[in-house]
Structure 1
Amino acid sequence: MLEVKRHAVRLIQGGLLARNVPEYQWPDWVKKIGRGMILAGVAVIVPGVLIDNISLPVTIVMQLCYASLIGIGVLLAFDENKTKGRG
């Protein structure tokens, strides 16, 4: 899971670097993008609920997109970096 998270963070940081976002704002942007991925994952699955007859391959692709967006979004949005302190 750490490798997936590292790859996602590098990809996001590359986009932020291309947009000239200051480096001190990157952690906040990564969390915002993670929350957006969670919402996008929910939006991907909604058509499957609303439409009655969807083919099996389309359903499988939608479920894979849902699972990957939710999983990566949770990893990014709820990142807890605990500092090492005394005691």
Structure 2
Amino acid sequence: MSVIKRTAEQGIHRILRLRNVPETQWPERVKKTGRGMILAGVATVVPLLLIDDIPLPGTIALQLCYAVLLCLGVILAFDSKQKPEHSGR
């Protein structure tokens, strides 16, 4: 799973570099992009709910988009690394 996360982050970093976003903002932008992917994934389910007669390839494509966007979004939005706590003492 780290390969998938690393590849997705590299792609996002490439886009952020092209848009001249400072590197200090990249981690927050990656999380924000992950949250956007979750919302976009949920939005791909809406046509399946509203339209009755979607052809089978269309249904499969929308379900695949849903799965990929939701999984990537969760991987990027919720970082599993714990930040070290600094005690004041």
TM-score category of the 2 structures, normalised to the smaller one: over 0.9
Q: Deviations over 1:28-76 (max 9, x none)?
A: 0000000000000011110011000011110000000000000000000
- The answer for the alignment partner of 1:38 in structure 2 is 38
Deviation of 1:80 after TM superposition, in Å, equals: 2.8
Task: Provide the residue aligned with 2:29 in structure 1.
Answer: 29
**Partner Cα distance (2:53, 2:2) in 1:** 38
Gaps in structure 1 of 5+ consecutive residues: none
May I ask how many residue pairs the two structures share in their alignment?
86
- RMSD between aligned alpha carbons? 1.4
Structure 2 residues not aligned, in runs of 5+: none
Identity %: 58
Per the normalisation by structure 1, the TM-score is 0.93
